[in-house]
Homo-oligomer: A and B are copies of this chain.
């Protein structure tokens, strides 16, 4: 049985880290739900936009799998770039789509948690004042609809880099949103807050870079596993990420990655065959 996690929120949950900035994570015990079926996870996982890239969920999954070696983990990618909390209301398309896919996934997996990152689009025009109440309602509705009343809900903070950069005028209230996320997590059973302190952005000043998404992933996992808020960077987070990224591939995984490179036109047929022979 697969252990599944729902990914919801906006662009920083979908992931915008550049693929070329980090070592890929490829592990046949880590799956993602595509077209209602499980397949081995590759990045980008959550293809909501042509800009989709590295998300925190891949490293989260790698950390979970390393601690549960005999089991499989499956991600359910439903995050949507640019979405506000109102876009996630229970009568809207995003909620309906995410709960439909999660219910499909629940037939072949046990739902273990919900990974949430959202709030940039509620950081202006007074929206942050309503964040706490709206999020509480959403989590309550999700838990009821998925028949998982105590399912862990992990919510990461917004990047402190939002106070500067090309689009910073859109995010005047981001600290209020972070406070609402923390308060909500402190007040609600099985909800945990994860600090984004120290994490950095792409050149757009909007999106966590790939390296930061990897660090965020280990923080999310730490919150999930220890059932505690992560209020500051973890002391050993860089080493933990490095260890997970450097996991040796199995023969089957090396073969699969070569077949993908060939199918994408990145290596020629003779090169494929020569490299397959060396595995």
Contact = CB atoms under 8 A, between A and B. Distances in A.
A146 interface: no
A204 interface: yes
A23 interface: no
A190 interface: no
A269 B166 contact: yes
Interface of A: 16, 18, 34-37, 39, 42, 47-51, 53, 78-80, 93-94, 96-98, 100, 104, 166, 202-204, 206-207, 260, 262-265, 268-269
A88 to B, nearest CB: 11
Contacts of A36: 93-94, 96-97
10 nearest interchain CB pairs? A36-B97, A36-B93, A47-B47, A42-B50, A51-B263, A35-B80, A18-B265, A37-B93, A35-B97, A51-B264
B50 A34 contact: no
One complex includes copies of this chain to the number of: 2
A18 B97 contact: no
A39 B93 CA distance: 13
A51 B267 CA distance: 13
A268 B96 CA distance: 38
Contacts of A39: 49
Given A35-B79, A39-B49, 19 more contacts: A16-B263, A18-B264, A34-B47, A34-B48, A35-B78, A35-B80, A35-B93, A35-B98, A36-B97, A42-B49, A42-B50, A50-B260, A50-B264, A51-B263, A51-B264, A97-B104, A202-B265, A203-B268, A206-B263
A32 to B, nearest CB: 10
Contacts of A166: 269
B263 A207 contact: yes
Contacts of A262: 203-204
Contacts of A202: 263, 265
A170 to B, nearest CB: 14
A184 to B, nearest CB: 23
A104 B166 CA distance: 36
Contact of A93 (B42, B48, B104, B265): B104
A47 B262 CA distance: 18
Given A96-B104, A202-B263, A204-B263, A80 B37 contact: yes
